[in-house]
Structures are given as C-alpha cells and as structure tokens.
Amino acid sequence: MNTKYSAILLSGLILSTNVSPCIAAIHSHQKEPVATEVIQTQWKGKKVAFLGDSITDKSHVGTTKNYWQYLEEMLGLEALVYGINGHHWIGVLEQAKKLKEEKGNQVDAIIIFAGTNDYNEGIPLGDWFRTEKTSVEVAGPSREIRLKRIPQTDDTNFRGRINNVMAYLKENFPTQQIILLTPIHRAQAYFGKDNIQPEEAFPNKSGLYVDSYVNVIKEASNVWAVPVIDLNSISGLYPMCDAQTPYFHNEKTDRLHPNAAGHYRMAKALAYQLLAYPADFKY
C-alpha cells in the first residue's frame, strides 16, 4: 500500500474514533517493550543492587516487567533486587542489611528508589542535623567551644530515615557507587476501601505535597556525597494527564504503578543518565 495513503487512513481512523493521537501511539505499542541492543558501557557485567518499594519489587506490582530488567538488557548489568512492596525508607535500611548479609562486598553499585510511601504515610520531614556544644582544637594550639552538627537519626522523620540508611551504606559499602532516584509523579490509586491514595495534587495528612519529599532526596545527594538522578523529572511520566494513562497499571484504579511501557520509559531515561557515572570505584 502506498505509504502516503496509509498515513491518511491512520489519521482518519484516529479522528473518526475520537482517540487522542498520543494515546493511540502508546496503545499501538502495548505489547511488552523489548530492549534489543546492549550498550557497550562501564555498566556491562556489573552487579547492581536495587533497593526500594513496590516499583522495584521482584513481584512485578502493576507490571509484567520492571525497570531494572530493562536496564539489564540495555546496559548489560546484573540486577540484585531487594525492593519490597510498601516499604518506606525505614524499610530500605533492612534491605541494605540483607544485601550486606547475602552479598558482602560482592556488589559494584547500589541504587535506591524510595520515598513515595513516606509521602503517602505523611511522615514528617525532620532536619538533617542536630547540634551540640563541643570542644574543638584550633590554631595556637588551643581549644574552643563550638556548635557541632551531627546527623540526626530519628526514624520517625524522613531525613532521619535517610541519614540512617546512608550512614549504614557509607560504613559498610565504602568503595561502592551509591545513586539515589527521586520518586516519580503519582495520581490516584484505589486498592480497596482501606487503601485509597489521592493524587499528588492533594497534600498528605502532614499537610505536605510529594514535591517536598522529592526535594529532600535531592538534598540528600549533597549531604551524603552521592549522585541523585531526578527520575521525577526526566522519566516524563505524568499520570494526572489522561493521555499518559497507557503508561500505568490501570486508568481507573491504579495510576501509581507504571506498567511495562512505563517501566521501559523509566529505564530508558535512567540508562542515559547512568552513562555519566562510574559503575564502581575499583582501581
């Protein structure tokens, strides 16, 4: 068939069925995406641990394939998956301990993708540091009393939970690459009468929007000297827009969990970012 004529027929079909061209384009690729080429990079063959929540969980919540599986195909890395459905950052600490117990130092990099459940639970943000008056040696030599800041470790707040995880990782995986990912955008989810989660246009019970938790993850990058990849931005996933629902599990009941198409899009965005970072620090 003439190519020009085919294009005209397709255009007519879209108009006649009153379907958004964006939705039609996504639906035309609803079969599970496949990464057909392994990029020859520093990540090939590296053992990468993935910590996080349901979007990372090996049980494939809302999808048939996860982003870390696509990264295996795209970058040739080996994924060691410890993410657990429903986990907050307080649960990430337990995942990190399990990683240490099972793999020791036989891991090259650790990627953490968590925070959306802390937002949904309404966990207070807290502070990065507490201060106390401490004697310190200065020029002279002599000693002065100054205010020393110390990472606060209260696991009832978000920054304290992150401090606990990062302190453990820095102590137990000192030579590994550690990378943080910001939570993606989230719309409504209805998992039953006792688990209804409004879209991010609404604050949580602490009066905080999800943006605040995303920004704390960004801050953690500087506090703990680790890279952060802003998946909230670069994935392009925006489930509040109806035209983007084909990237999510269920248009009516679950615009929180990406489906295979959504995971592929996340992985593709991540792959290009990961190319900018060392996969390990061996020498």
How confident is the prediction along the chain (283 residues), in pLDDT tens digits per residue?
A: 444 433 333 233 223 334 444 444 455 445 677 765 666 799 999 999 999 999 999 999 999 999 999 999 999 999 999 999 999 999 999 999 999 999 999 999 999 999 999 999 999 999 999 999 999 999 999 999 999 999 999 999 999 999 999 999 999 999 999 999 999 999 999 999 899 999 999 999 999 999 999 999 999 999 999 999 999 999 999 999 999 999 999 999 989 999 999 999 999 999 999 999 999 998 8
Q: Which positions ≥6 away from 71 have C-beta within 8 Å?
A: 43, 48, 77, 79, 267, 270, 271, 274
- Beta strand ranges found along the chain (DSSP E): 47-52, 78-81, 109-113, 129-138, 142-151, 177-181, 189-190, 196-197, 228-229, 248-250, 254-258
The predicted pLDDT at position 282 comes to: 85
pLDDT value, residue 33? 74
In angstroms, the CA 274 to CA 98 distance is: 25
Q: What pLDDT shows up at residue 12? A: 33
CB atoms within 10 A of CB 110: 23
Q: Are the CB atoms for 217 and 134 separated by under 8 Å?
A: no
How many other C-beta atoms are found inside a 10 Å radius of the C-beta of residue 6? 10
- Residue in the block written with tokens 């827009």: 241
Amino acid at position 109, single letter: A
- At residue 27, the pLDDT reads 52
Integer CA distances (angstroms), 152 to 32, 49, 214, 215, 216, in order: 44, 26, 19, 18, 14
Residue 30: predicted pLDDT: 59
Provide the pLDDT for residue 237. Answer: 98
What pLDDT does 119 receive?
98
